[in-house]
Amino acid sequence: MFFLYDISISLMAFGMKIASLFNEKVKKGVAGRRDSLKNVQQALAKDDRVIWMHAASLGEYEQGLPVLERLKIQYPDYKILVSFFSPSGYENVVKKKHIADAICYLPFDKKNTIQQFVNSFQTALFFTVKYDFWYRLLEVLNQKNIPVYVVSALFYEKQKFFTSGGRFFVEQLRKNVNIFFHQTEHSLKLAESIGLTNSMYTGDTRYDRVKQNVKNFTEVPLIQNFIQNKPALVIGSSWEAEENLVEKFINENSETKIILAPHDLKRVPQIKQRFGDKAILYSKLENSQSSVINRQLLIIDNIGMLSRLYHYANVAVVGGGFHTSGLHNILEAAAYAVPVIFGNQYKKNPEADALIEAGAAKSFSDENAAVDFLLQLFRDEDKRKSMGSLAGEFIAGQPDAATIILNNIHAK
C-alpha cells in the first residue's frame, strides 16, 4: 500500500510544480520546499534537541501554539522547529514575532527526502495539529523512537479513515502516534470506533489561545477614537459576501460604527473605492475627532490587529462562512463576550455548532437574513447583551486543553 501512497505523493508534487507556473501561492510553497533542509541546517545543529510542531496552515499554527509555548517554557534548552504545508501559514508566521528557532515548509513526504530532513537534527518530541498526517514522516519518526502526538485532533465521518480503503491509513496512525488529544468528544468516539484507542478528550487548544488574548489585551487608542462611544460592529476576515452585508447594513443603520478587517489586504483599495467617503483606512487615522467624524466605516489595512478589535465590538461578523472557502476564527470574538454572526457553510468547525447551541451565535444562508438579524440586535440592547454574556460564559467554561495535554506528555 505504501507503493500507491508514494505514487500519490509524487503526483501531488508534480502537480504542484505545474500549478506553480500559474499560481503565485503554490509557487511560494514549491520554492520554499527547495530550501527547507538548508534553512533547518543553518538554524539547528545536528546535536540540537528539538521540539517540532507541524501545522498545515495559520489556523492550525494558532491552535497548536498554546502547547508549543508551554513546552518552550518548561524546556528552555530545547530548540523549536515549526513546519508548514501551506504558504498562507508560513508567510504569515515568518514575518512576525514568534518563538521558533527555525520555520520551514515540510518537505514533500518522500521516504529519502524525509529521512534526510529528520536526520539533520535530534527531534525530542513531534506533534502535528488537527489532522495533517504525512505517513512517511510518521514512519521515520517511529523508527527513531521519537514520541508523536496529535493536538486538537479532529475526526469526522467523511474522512478516508472511515471508507473501505482507509485501513492502511488507520494502521499507520495506530502504529506511529503515541496519543491523539481530541478537541471534541465526537472526534474521540469516531477514532475509537476504528481502533485508535490511544486517544483521549482534552478540548480544543484554541480556547486556551483566545482566553490568553483577552487576558493580555492592550488598548488600541485610535480605534476607541474612531468609535466615539457609539455602538460598534466588527467584521473579521471579510470576503466579498461580508462586504455586501456591510453595504446593506449601512443603508439601514447610519449610527453604528463599523470596523472591517479584510481576509485579503490586496483588496483594500477596491473596498475603499466601494464605500467612498463613508470609509477611512486605519493607516490614515489621526488622533483627532475631525478625521473620523463623518466616517462610519474603518478599513483595517494591516495584519495582526484583528484579535484585539473584537474587544471594541458590540456584535461581530466573521467571514468565510457564506461560501466553501471555510469559516475563519469565531472564538476570538466570542472570548470578548460578543455575539457572533456568520454564514452557514462551516462543516469542519464544530465550535460553530457549539456556540449556536449555547445561544451565543447565529448562522445564516445569505447576507440579507444576516443583515436583518444584525439590525434587530442593534435595536434590542438586552438581546445583544444576553447573547454576548452567553458567548463569554461558553468560552470561560471550556477545559484548559494545553494543561491536560502537557500533563499527559510529561507522564510519558
The domains found in the chain, sorted by start residue, are 1-201 (3.40.50.11720), 218-397 (3.40.50.2000)
pLDDT of residue 411: 74
pLDDT of residue 117: 96
With beta carbons less than 8 A apart as the criterion, state whether 275 and 247 touch: yes
Is residue 150 within a helix (H) or strand (E), and if so which, with residue range? Answer: strand 148-153
pLDDT one-digit tens code per residue, 260-277 = 999 989 999 999 999 999
Nearest to 360 by CA among 329, 343, 328, 383: 383
pLDDT of residue 288: 66
Query: In the block, which residue shows the cell 449556536?
Result: 356
Query: In the block, which residue shows the cell 460592529?
Result: 233
Asked about 60 being catalytic, the answer comes back as yes
Query: Which residues partner with 364 through β-bridges?
Result: 343
pLDDT one-digit tens code per residue, 216-228 = 999 998 998 899 8
Please state the pTM of the whole predicted model: 0.85
Q: What Å distances lie between residue 78 and 51, 58, 75, 314, 395, CA to CA?
A: 7, 23, 6, 43, 32
DSSP E strand stretches across 282-376: 297-299, 315-318, 340-343, 361-364
pLDDT of residue 142: 96
Nearest to 329 by CA among 59, 97, 18: 59
Query: In the block, which residue shows the cell 539533520?
Result: 120
DSSP assignment, residue 347?
T
Nearest to 255 by CA among 221, 278, 288: 278
Q: What are phi and psi of 166, to 5 degrees?
A: -90, 0
Query: In the block, which residue shows the cell 496519543?
Result: 179
Indicate which residue of 24, 60, 240, 367 is catalytic: 60
Residue 67 has pLDDT above 70, yes or no: yes
pLDDT one-digit tens code per residue, 21-30 = 888 888 898 8
With beta carbons less than 8 A apart as the criterion, state whether 28 and 170 touch: no
